């Protein structure tokens, strides 16, 4: 006679309910495409932190590629053109009976051999730490694709930004003693990283500035600060920063384009002016257009293309599922 415990039955139901039935497919490489996370079952998995899969949408062919299809929660996909590799954070290690991890690690999908494997084993060995309670997350490749920055954090403690060189297989500390989560992005020059640091003031976490760190000299400078706002840097192109700003009094949020030469915002657009409740991951297509994830008031989410000069807005995807962590690969 077989006896199934309540926990086992619950875990089995979770696994079966999260089998979404999409065919896994891989492009030969990624170009003129959007890479992002989506809850393709449309059951608000990304909002609840349960699961989400990695999607590539080729803008030339209009074809979708599902890089993953499972019950795990995958986040922050980033593409290396040099190694033809997608690296991402995932809750698929140190598995419980339901297959869900209690902490994040980095994993990689090679588009050359179509294989998925853990990416950060070498990093952990190099740092010579146990990482028993540490999270390794938020990978982001430089434009050349031979270096990746990532966040090492511990629950309820401070975080660090580190950089891993795939050529030399060396890991270096860039910025220490930060509070997570932290948003960051590379400059085209491959030498600068812009990030939005969190800091604690009177027991309140704030993110009202954008800083820059040089990956070679490790020198750090403040780029801008906004009182009464929390800032989230999203992309950098041609001496311009695209960032999100949220008013701390709850009065609204906006996308802004900041000019590094003139040291001022040259464009600001309120979310509600575009008829969105929420806007996430704005990314430059070029100096005139940005892609972003837009959430309607019924919580449907899709990707849109906005012309910053004339205000034209075009919908790119029509799947309506919850989406996160968009990037544009030209």
Rounded Cα distance, 76 and 97, in Å: 25
* Cα four-point dihedral sign 186, 192, 194, 198: positive
3-state secondary structure of 48: helix
Long-range contacts of 114-121 (CB under 8 A, 24+ apart): 114/26, 116/68, 118/93, 119/87, 120/150
Q: Which residue has the tokens 């609840």?
A: 48
Of 275, 325, 316, nearest in space to 298 by CA? 275
What are the residue ranges in the chain where pLDDT is below 70? Answer: 1-22, 42-51, 93-102, 125-133, 154-157, 180-181, 199-205
Rounded Cα distance, 261 and 239, in Å: 7
CATH number of 6-329: 2.120.10.30
pLDDT for the residue 207: 84
For 91-102, the pLDDT digits (tens) are 886 555 444 445
For 155-179, the pLDDT digits (tens) are 556 788 999 999 999 999 999 878 7
pLDDT for the residue 204: 60
pLDDT for the residue 93: 64
pLDDT for the residue 205: 66
Of 225, 264, 268, 228, nearest in space to 244 by CA? 268
3-state secondary structure of 109: strand
Say if strands 229-237 and 323-329 run parallel, antiparallel, or are unpaired. Answer: unpaired
Count of beta carbons in the 10 Å neighbourhood of residue 244: 23
């Amino acid at each position: 006679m077989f006896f199934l415990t309540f926990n086992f039955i619950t875990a089995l139901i979770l696994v079966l309910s999260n089998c979404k039935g999409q065919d896994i497919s891989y492009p030969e490489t990624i170009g003129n495409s959007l890479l992002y996370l989506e809850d393709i079952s449309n059951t608000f998995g990304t909002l609840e932190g349960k699961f989400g899969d990695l999607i590539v949408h080729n803008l030339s062919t209009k074809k979708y590629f599902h890089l993953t299809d499972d019950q795990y929660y995958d986040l922050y996909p980033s593409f290396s053109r040099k190694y033809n590799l997608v690296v991402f954070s995932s809750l698929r290690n140190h598995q419980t009976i339901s297959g869900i991890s209690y902490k994040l690690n980095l994993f990689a999908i090679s588009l050359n051999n179509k294989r998925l494997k853990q990416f950060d084993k070498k990093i952990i060995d190099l740092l010579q730490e146990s990482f028993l309670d540490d999270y390794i997350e938020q990978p982001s490749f430089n434009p050349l694709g031979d270096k990746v920055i990532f966040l090492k954090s511990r629950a309820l403690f401070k975080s660090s930004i580190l950089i891993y060189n795939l050529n030399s297989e060396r890991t270096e500390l860039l910025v220490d003693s930060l509070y997570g989560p932290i948003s960051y992005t590379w400059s085209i020059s491959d030498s600068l990283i812009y990030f939005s640091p969190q800091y604690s003031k009177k027991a309140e976490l704030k993110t009202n500035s954008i800083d820059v760190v040089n990956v070679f000299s490790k020198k750090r400078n403040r780029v801008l600060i906004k009182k009464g706002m929390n800032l989230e840097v999203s992309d950098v192109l041609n001496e311009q920063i695209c960032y999100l700003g949220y008013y701390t009094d709850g009065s609204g949020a906006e996308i802004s384009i900041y000019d590094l030469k003139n040291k001022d915002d040259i464009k600001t657009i309120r979310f509600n002016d575009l008829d969105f409740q929420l806007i996430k991951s704005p990314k430059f297509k070029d100096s005139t257009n940005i892609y972003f994830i837009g959430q309607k008031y019924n919580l449907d989410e899709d990707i849109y293309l906005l012309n910053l000069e004339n205000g034209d807005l075009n919908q790119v995807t029509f799947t309506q599922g919850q989406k996160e962590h968009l990037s544009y690969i030209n």
